[in-house]
Amino acid sequence: MSETKPQLVQIEKPIYGGAFLARVEGKAVFVPLTLPGEQANIRVVEDKRSYAIAEAEEIQSPAVERVAPGCRHFGMCGGCQYQHADYKAQLKFKQEILRETLDRASVPVSVEIDLLAAEPWTYRNRIRLALDAAGNIGYRGRRSHAVVPVAECPIAAPVLLKAASAFRDARLTAAPSLHPTELSLFCSSDEATVLASIFVARPAKVRLDQLGEEWRTAVPALAGMELAVEGRKDEPARSIARWGGLSLTYMAAGFGYRVDHGSFFQVNRWLVDALVERVTSGRSGKLAWDLFAGVGLFARKLAERFDRVVAVESAPPSIEALKMNLSGTVAEAIRSDALVFLRRQKAQRPDLIVVDPPRAGVGPEETAELVRIASPEIIYVSCDPATLARDLRTLTASGYVIHRIALADLFPQTFHLETVVELRRS
């Protein structure tokens, strides 16, 4: 396949990862920024043995779903993949991708895939930006690790971009010797409070109080920040200094959750209540387990409906917040790896198990333990359809049936998708 000669192709369908499928002489070609039904002149930029990656040089027959992107940086920035499609089409793409992924894994789904969706803009309560050698702040490029400086980010809460811009100026004034590589910003749902994490490649001496006061002058919502050294491969960053508050209060599902620096919390501020409702509504009993519990988003609500709840979390940044969020309830916080916890359970069989793992999924060993324990109901919250399909294949082959399934669009304008699967013993 030529890497220089443009070729006219028909775009067939979306694929997971943000590109769209075409074929040249039977070979799969992945083409970003196109849409199904379009004809496009493409140029191959990577030719692999079983597939190729191409760039569209000209769209000859635009699809009716094509719209003007909502951000001037779309196409250069690597953060969004679907801004050129109307929102209804984006949801359809994700439903198709989810169902095809499950079908390929031979996971039986006899029910419709429900949709949980909300406002598709200004939804992000957390962003992570990169800084180049010159101190420019932006996101990584679509096809490179280069930093694309950004002046706007319409999917993020406005206070976050305001804080990022103010950081650039405050650093030059109050901490010129500081050379951060990345900046993470997290805000409360109402944008009244912001926490910042500044990442550096090696320990640096800096007066965080001076930087913090200068920064907060421009962004009064700034409540606290930490300076952290990047970890080596597969190692977490190490906090070396802090200024201001260590946490913020995030209102969700009728409760004010404490969320600390580095703690996991769902990113979509418009959809988090609906997600909690989907996971917890209509369920009650004597005992529920919440694995990969984070700061207790689901466990706190389950504690209103079960006689006892056990919330299991292994990440250090989340433990203290989890304990505080569950204090005064029937829920107990346990610091443990999920697999270790499951292997220790020899007699108990909870009425409900909720799992909300990272992208790696629950995992084969953990899934085998879930099969052994045989809870009547499992709610699986997934942010990766491939690992979800892997784990569901084991669960459905072992007596569980998918009772309901929902695509929760926590990441509009991007290819990422969240899924909530309700499984019951047959």
Residue 339 CB partners (closer than 8 Å, separation 6+): 363, 365, 366, 369
Task: Report residue 16 as tokens.
Answer: 């997971």
Q: By C-alpha distance, which of 349, 353, 421 is closest to 388?
A: 421
Distances (CA, A) of 18 to 99, 106, 219, 412, 417: 16, 23, 34, 12, 11
CA distance 54 to 7: 10
What stretches of 60-121 adopt beta strand conformation (E)? 113-116
| Rounded alpha-carbon distances, angstroms, from residue 345 to 289, 340, 349, 373 | 11, 9, 8, 8
Diameter over CA atoms, the chain: 67
Residue 290's alpha-carbon distances to 233, 296, 358, in angstroms, are 29, 8, 14
Q: Are 115 and 407 in contact (CB under 8 A)?
A: yes
d(CA 351, CA 349) in angstroms, rounded, equals 7
Q: How far apart are CA 320 and CA 309, in angstroms?
A: 17
Distance of CA 45 to the CA centre of its chain: 28
Residue 226: Cβ-neighbour burial (10 angstroms; 0-12, 13-18, 19+): buried
CB contact at 8 A, 295 and 325: yes
What is the rounded radius of gyration, in angstroms, for the C-alpha atoms of the chain? 23
CA distance 210 to 11: 54
Among 77, 80, 153, 383, the active-site one is 383
Q: Is 383 tagged catalytic?
A: yes
Active site residues: 383
